[in-house]
Amino acid sequence: MTSPSPSVSPCPLRDQLPGVYAEDGFAGVFADGLDTMPGPVLNVLDCLDAYFRPGLAPADFLDWIGSWVGAELDGLASESVRREAVGTAMAMHRRRGTAYGLAAAIRLAFGITPEIKESGGATWSARPRGPFPGDPRPGLRVVVRVPDPSVFDTRRLETLVAAARPAHLPFTVEVLDERTDNR
């Protein structure tokens, strides 16, 4: 009988061979060769929960998870930003159509905090027939301040605002130089 060779498998097949084959040198070497095959599969199964966590998932698996939760990854080149987008996708969906949700989407996509002015408002009054809050004409104005507006991707910002704004509001987007102070 040959002595078992060191194996990478925690349960080497050589040790599980029937007695007839345990003494056969070829069967032992063949079983050792098969021990390397289930290793990657067992590794994936052992670490399966990490595949579904945005902070731990392999980079090539991240976009697939993002498609499951509806994360908007278009134009997000940085892996860390894509991981954050997938991890916060559910919270972003809950806030979609709000000023907070729009600001969060712009911060995630561009790394800047926008100024958002909307026409609506809410109030209450103890007396009936009080004035309505906000502007009677619906509208949304998004202003971002960047170091160089000439190289900023304004079209991408407009696309993002169109997707994340309340559906009924017309909007305008302004990209200004951060050194100017026309607030």
* pLDDT tens by residue, 2-45: 554 444 677 788 888 888 888 888 888 888 888 777 777 888 88
What's the Rg (C-alpha) of the chain?
A: 29
Q: What digits encode the pLDDT tens for the residues 58-101?
A: 888 898 998 999 887 776 678 888 999 899 999 989 998 889 99
Cα 83 to Cα 76: distance, rounded to the nearest angstrom: 10
Q: What is the pLDDT of residues 97-118, one digit of tens each?
A: 889 999 999 999 899 999 999 8
What's the CATH fold of domain 98-183? GMP Synthetase; Chain A, domain 3 (3.30.300)
Instruction: Show me where the domains of the chain are located.
Output: 13-46, 98-183
Residue 183 scores a pLDDT above 60: no
